[in-house]
Amino acid sequence: MRSIACFKHPFSSRRLGAGAWTALTIVAMLAATPAVAQDPYPNRPITVISPYSAGGDADLAARNFAAAAQRALSQAVVVVNKVGASGVIGSVQALASPPDGYTLLLARTGSQAILPAIMPTTTKYKWDDFEFIGTLEVNPYGCVVNGKSPYRTFGDLVDAMKVKGKAMNFGTAGVLTTNDMGPRQLFRLLKLTDQTPTQIPYKGTGEASMSLVAGQTEFACGSLGSFLALIKSGQLRALMVTNPERMASMPDVPTARELGYAEMEGIVGWSAVYAPPNLAADARARLVAAMKVIADDPLWQAATAQTGSLPYVKSPSETRQFVQKHFQLYRSLGESLNIIDSKAQ
């Protein structure tokens, strides 16, 4: 049998077989090849989880953010609606995602402040379990009636509540939402105790709005962006806003403070951007920088205004303080109404 040809290494007196020599050659080539740097974040599409149904306030905020973030980050940003359990299902999915910056959450008042405050044992996360990237917007809040309603002023509505009590009804997008908690705060301030109007929960703000237009419910309170088109068309009438100042788009509608209900000012909708905890430092820095760019983006500002919302971009630390304030508001309200999940007592 012929022997396999061997080569003598120039720096060794030993003879090496062809296989060993090939292996050494590969190792040497790898060692001489410069290390390829990992592409900076983001180098692939980003997913934004919207924990509520398409077409609502959260969905519109998520899509406006995604469009602006795509411009700011030069990377595709896709919105995915993960609905269920008043925003908990989508929030839990975002929380459990890898902390690499490729899965974000469109955070909302109900899923990130109200539920952790009122239902802490079933929500499955705390208000501060997430990484705060920044707030996006606030949604002016108020109470509305049908355009043909006999209640011409907020005082008329309040007087009717005091007389009719449970015989009155109001539509909401579900329990433990701002549509639900705003009226609860109002009823508390009016000292209606157990004689409060009856809540009719619907699957979303769209259904709640249409029930009011159809005369199936007598009033509703919520983010005015959901009612704005119907208010402009005259099908609904706004009676009060919780903004500190009157809204330019509805200058004739008085504020809660003007009406003597300053404590209603804390009730307001908002959107923010969250990420899973322990977010990679490079992703965090890039996202926070992108938020500053988005804040000055005229296209995002215009899209936000079209929904009836007000731009409100804040830093991570300011966002944390803002959300904590709202969590504490709803926790206090829940305690006063004795509606905190009993297992958490």
Q: What is the pLDDT of residues 236-256, one digit of tens each?
A: 999 999 999 999 889 999 999
57 and 125 fall within a common domain? yes
What's the confidence (pLDDT) of residue 192? 93
Lowest mean pLDDT of 28-37, 104-113, 276-285, name the range.
Answer: 28-37
pLDDT at 342: 65
Residues 147 and 261 in one domain: yes
In this structure, the answer to whether residues 103 and 248 fall within a common structural domain is no
* Residue 36 forms part of a structural domain: no
Looking at the fold, whether 155 and 226 belong to one and the same domain comes out as: yes
Domain of residue 14: give its range: 1-29
Q: What tens digit of pLDDT does each residue of 25-42 get?
A: 444 444 444 444 568 999
Give the domain-ending residue among 211, 243, 266.
266
Percentage of residues in the chain with pLDDT exceeding 90? Answer: 77
pLDDT at 340 (0 to 100):
94
Residue 35 lies in a domain: no
* Domain membership flag for residue 208: yes
Q: Domain check: are 63 and 167 in the same one? A: no
Average pLDDT of the segment spanning 338-344: 78
Domain identity same for 151 and 51: no
Whether 312 and 328 share a structural domain: yes
Given a cut of 70, is residue 339 above it in pLDDT?
yes
Q: Tell me what pLDDT residue 263 has.
A: 95
**Is there a single domain that holds both residue 153 and residue 172?**
yes
83 and 151 housed in the same domain: no
* Boundary-marking domain end, from 251, 266, 281: 266
Per-residue confidence (pLDDT) for residue 84, from 0 to 100: 87
pLDDT at 150 over 90: yes
Are residue 158 and residue 261 in the same domain, yes or no? yes
Band (pLDDT 50/70/90 cuts) for residue 343 is low
Q: Which of 9-18, 92-101, 137-146, 249-258 has the lowest mean pLDDT?
A: 9-18
* 296 falls within a domain: yes
The predicted structure's pLDDT at residue 204: 77
Number of domains in the chain: 3
Task: Say yes or no: 278 and 258 in one domain.
Answer: no
The reply to whether 6 falls in a domain is yes
**Cα(174)–Cα(307) distance, integer angstroms:** 21
**CATH code, domain with 73:** 3.40.190.150
